[in-house]
């Protein structure tokens, strides 16, 4: 299984528009972060987790020719507003499958109503096959079992996902011990680490490292990173040997 980090930044990305913060002015490509998303590939299968405002560019950058579907963690704009850019995939391959909590599907229907219309459809609108994810029920993606991991983003329910020995969690603030058992001892864990300071709806660095200790993966990567975490190269020197900062375009094999 190959994982590509399409974006590793927070909702504003790095650099932030108009910011003079030193990290935003960095010339290091690893300090330039698009909105958070990953590409997951195995065999002939290609899936994306979340499609934010940078989705079009991310697909072009990685030369993605087709996708089998999109998994959504939750409905916040930095995770869904690239949804209209599934159109080229729809024109080439037909309906695009999406997988999400019923609340997220409802939100997408409200924000992108033209995609879901059954009558008087705009000729250029894409079509999707919407699949509801239930909190404690795994689901099948072309023969591969995906286990949803339920967490809280402040008070909002969000999903993480386990694909075999790889688990991806973003925008988490709390995860119960029951849910942690679903990902205990995975080979590779990806989890959000927004900044050094505490935040009301995201793990900060200290919380992310404590969460990694609970899960005990062989290797962990941090994502959904803001400029307030610091410079990529400086922060990575402070991390445990098995923990790394993810960066845009990073590819790993699990």
Kindly report, residue by residue over 116-147, the tens digit of the pLDDT. 998 889 989 999 999 999 878 999 999 999 99
The confidence score (pLDDT) of residue 148 equals: 98
Q: Please name each of the domains of the chain with its CATH number.
A: 2-253 (3.60.15.10)
CA gap 121, 129 in Å, rounded = 16
Phi, psi of 99 (to 5 degrees): -135, 120
The confidence score (pLDDT) of residue 93 equals: 96
The confidence score (pLDDT) of residue 135 equals: 78
Quick one: which of 197, 193, 160 has its CA closest to 175? Answer: 160
Which residues face 166 on adjacent strands? 163, 188
User: Quick one: tokens of 93?
Assistant: 């391959």
Phi, psi of 90 (to 5 degrees): -60, -45
User: Quick one: tokens of 6?
Assistant: 């399409």
The confidence score (pLDDT) of residue 136 equals: 80
For residue 184, the SS3 value is coil
In sequence order, which ranges of the chain are alpha helices (DSSP H)?
55-61, 77-80, 87-93, 102-111, 113-116, 177-180, 205-215, 232-236
CA gap 138, 136 in Å, rounded = 7
Per-residue pLDDT of the chain (254 residues), as tens digits, is 999 999 999 999 999 999 999 999 999 999 999 999 999 999 999 999 999 999 999 999 999 999 999 999 999 999 999 999 999 999 999 999 999 999 999 999 999 999 999 888 998 999 999 999 987 899 999 999 999 999 999 999 999 999 999 999 999 999 999 999 999 999 999 999 999 999 999 999 999 999 999 999 999 999 999 999 999 999 999 999 999 999 999 999 99
CA gap 119, 234 in Å, rounded = 55
The confidence score (pLDDT) of residue 186 equals: 97
For residue 137, the SS3 value is coil
CA gap 198, 226 in Å, rounded = 13
CA gap 224, 28 in Å, rounded = 18
Cβ distance 224 to 10 under 8 Å?
yes
Which tens digit of pLDDT belongs to each residue from 80-116?
999 999 999 999 999 999 999 999 999 999 999 999 9
């Amino acid at each position: 299984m190959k994982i590509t980090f399409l974006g590793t930044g927070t909702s504003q990305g790095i650099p932030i528009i108009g910011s003079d913060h030193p990290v935003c002015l960095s010339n290091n490509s690893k300090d330039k972060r698009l909105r958070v998303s990953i590409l997951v590939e195995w065999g002939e299968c290609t899936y994306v987790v979340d499609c934010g405002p940078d989705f079009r560019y991310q697909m072009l950058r990685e030369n993605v020719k087709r996708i089998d579907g999109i998994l959504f963690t939750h409905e916040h704009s930095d995770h869904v507003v690239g949804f209209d850019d599934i159109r080229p995939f729809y024109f080439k391959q037909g309906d695009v499958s999406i997988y999400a909590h019923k609340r997220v599907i409802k939100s997408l229907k409200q924000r992108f109503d033209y995609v879901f219309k059954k009558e008087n459809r705009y000729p250029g609108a894409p079509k999707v096959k919407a699949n509801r994810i239930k909190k404690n029920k795994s689901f099948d993606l072309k023969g591969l079992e995906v286990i949803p991991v339920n967490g809280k983003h402040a008070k909002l329910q969000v999903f993480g996902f386990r694909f075999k020995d790889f688990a991806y969690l973003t925008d988490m603030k709390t995860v119960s011990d029951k849910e942690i058992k679903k990902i205990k001892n995975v080979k590779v864990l990806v989890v959000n680490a927004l900044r050094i300071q505490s935040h009301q709806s995201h793990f900060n660095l200290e919380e992310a490292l404590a969460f990694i200790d609970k899960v005990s993966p062989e290797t962990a990567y941090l994502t959904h990173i803001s400029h307030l975490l610091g410079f990529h190269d400086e922060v990575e020197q402070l991390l445990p040997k098995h923990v790394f900062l993810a960066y845009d375009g990073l590819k790993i094999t699990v």
